[in-house]
Structure formats: structure tokens, C-alpha cells
């Protein structure tokens, strides 16, 4: 006797399972099997090059390396400006700070005379030489030794030495159009002390700038959070037509450094 046929019934509220369409391999890229997607994987957005993300470089703490050194090394290895400087032939990421300042304030002009105070390792000298051309002149000074920068004259001497300003002027052979100072004293971790030290260096750089700049010249100096203050700011506003503070994107976000940019030197 034939058994009666019964239709299976779904419980109330349960949806009918969907049939998955079979992928036509011939229509996939290069005819390869498509990658299976799960809830843990999200497809890259169309046209999103950022989807090809580079993994951060991890640095292990070496036996005789301090934690601070390890953190610095990790920051360097994962810094996009460091990688870019290496790829484009600049000696340091600082080169992009000057490039940004120049783009905003039009500091580097063809045929200009430029002085770079605290020039090691030479990134700013490289930018200046390229910008001013063969008819210009770049003179740098630093107590740290550094390889030759083609097109620049480098004086290996502490700028704070008594004879340094006169030796720089002898190399220049005439008034300067731009004085740059990226000098920075070793930090102590005490904010007020570090600020006073950097302002003292900026004042020494300004003393020199006021002595060598041609009328209409410009002065750029590193300062810390709080910027140029007190007597330094008063001198800048007195002797230059325009004084502004700027923090280039190439400066690390956690850094307190800024730059004071003074243009339109009124002359001595």
C-alpha cells in the first residue's frame, strides 16, 4: 500500500533558506576562483587605494637598548615623512618643513643668498640649493660634522662661538636675503626651561640676521609652544613688516615646535 506523502512545514517566522548562486569562474578576474568573504572581512571600496594598507613596523626592545630609544626607532620606521625623504634623496624629514614654509611664505627666490644656522644633517641646505639655483648662494653652520651638500658652503663650528658670525659673513661676501634657524638645544623635559633655551637661540639667530640681512629680507626661526614672546616678538615686529607663526604639517603632531616667520626686513 502506497504511503501518503506529507509536505514539510516550516515553523512560523522562519524564512525559506536562499539558494546561493554558483559563481561563473570565467567572469572573475583572470579566471581565478573568487575569494570567499566572511563577516570578518570587508571588501575594499571601489577605487580605494588606501585599502592596500602597509602594516606598521614593530620594533623589539633590545637587551641593551633603552625603551625611549626603542620608541624613537619605531616612530622613525613608521614615519611617512622619513620614508618619503629617503625615497626623494633628502637627508632628513625636516626638508619638508622648509618646503611647506616656502610654499606658504615664498621665502626662497632665485639668486638669493641664504644662511642656514644649525644646518646638520643638511636637509634645509638641499632644499635651499635646489630652489635658488646656480646664481644663488647657501652658507650653513653646525658644530656637528656632515657630508658635503653640493652647492652649499658648510662651516663646522658652534654658532654661539664668538668668531662664528664673522666667519659666516666672510663666506657670504655680501648681505643675505634669508636667514634660517632650525637650531634647538637638548631638551630637559622641563617645559619652561626648554622654552627659555629655544628663545635664547632664536634671539642669537636674530642678532645675526639683523646684522646681515638686506632690506626686504626674511628671517625664520624655530620656537616652542608659546611662540616668540616678549622682547623677541617686539624686536621682530619693530624690524620686520610681517611676523607670523606657523607649524608645518611635517612637524610631528606631538611636538611643541613652531616656527616664527618674519618678512620684509626694514633695514638697520
The verdict on residue 20 lying in a domain is no
Does 85 share its domain with 100?
no
Percent of the chain with pLDDT over 90: 51
Same domain, 84 and 184: no
In the set 222, 237, 247, 258, the catalytic residue is 222
Expressed as residue numbers, the domain containing 74 is: 61-90
Q: How many domains does one find in the chain?
A: 2
pTM: 0.70
Mean pLDDT of 79-88: 75
The mean pLDDT value for 95-100 works out to 95
Q: Are strands 176-181 and 152-156 parallel, antiparallel or unpaired?
A: unpaired
Judge if 125 and 227 occupy the same domain: yes
Per-residue model confidence as pLDDT tens digits over 28-60: 444 444 444 444 443 334 444 433 344 455 545
Asked whether residue 29 is domain-assigned, the answer is no
Same domain, 86 and 104: no
Res 19: pLDDT: 59
User: Angle, nearest 10°, between helix axes 191-212 and 164-172?
Assistant: 40
Tell whether 69 and 100 lie within a shared domain. no
Q: Are residues 241 and 217 in the same domain?
A: yes
If asked whether residues 160 and 234 sit together in one domain, one would say yes
Q: Are residues 84 and 185 in the same domain?
A: no
What does the pLDDT look like over 180-226, one tens digit per residue? 999 988 777 777 787 788 889 999 999 999 999 999 999 999 988 66
Establish whether 222 is a catalytic residue.
Answer: yes
> Does residue 66 sit in the same domain as residue 103?
no
pLDDT of residue 190: 78
Amino acid at each position: 500500500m502506497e504511503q501518503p506523502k506529507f509536505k514539510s512545514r516550516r515553523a512560523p517566522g522562519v524564512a525559506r533558506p536562499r539558494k546561493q548562486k554558483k559563481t561563473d569562474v570565467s567572469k572573475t578576474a583572470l579566471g581565478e576562483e573568487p575569494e570567499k568573504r566572511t563577516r570578518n572581512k570587508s571588501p575594499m571600496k571601489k577605487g580605494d587605494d588606501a585599502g592596500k594598507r602597509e602594516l606598521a613596523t614593530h620594533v623589539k626592545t633590545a637587551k641593551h637598548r633603552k625603551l625611549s630609544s626603542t620608541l624613537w626607532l619605531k616612530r622613525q620606521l613608521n614615519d611617512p615623512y622619513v620614508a618619503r625623504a629617503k625615497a626623494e634623496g633628502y637627508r632628513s624629514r625636516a626638508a619638508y618643513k622648509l618646503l611647506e614654509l616656502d610654499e606658504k611664505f615664498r621665502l626662497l627666490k632665485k639668486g638669493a643668498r641664504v644662511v642656514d644656522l644649525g644646518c646638520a644633517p643638511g636637509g634645509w641646505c638641499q632644499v635651499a640649493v635646489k630652489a635658488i639655483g646656480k646664481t644663488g648662494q647657501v652658507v650653513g653652520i653646525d658644530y656637528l660634522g656632515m657630508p658635503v651638500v653640493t652647492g652649499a658652503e658648510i662651516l663646522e663650528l658652534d654658532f654661539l662661538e664668538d668668531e662664528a658670525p664673522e666667519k659666516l659673513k666672510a663666506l657670504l661676501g655680501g648681505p643675505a636675503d634669508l636667514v634660517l634657524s632650525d637650531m634647538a638645544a637638548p631638551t630637559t623635559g622641563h617645559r619652561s626651561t626648554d622654552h627659555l633655551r629655544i628663545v635664547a637661540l632664536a634671539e642669537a639667530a636674530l642678532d645675526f640676521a639683523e646684522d646681515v640681512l638686506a632690506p626686504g629680507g626674511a628671517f625664520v626661526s624655530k620656537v616652542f609652544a608659546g611662540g616668540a614672546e616678549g622682547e623677541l616678538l617686539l624686536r621682530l615686529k619693530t624690524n620686520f613688516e610681517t611676523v607670523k607663526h606657523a607649524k608645518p604639517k611635517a612637524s610631528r603632531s606631538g611636538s611643541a615646535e613652531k616656527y616664527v616667520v618674519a618678512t620684509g626686513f626694514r633695514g638697520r
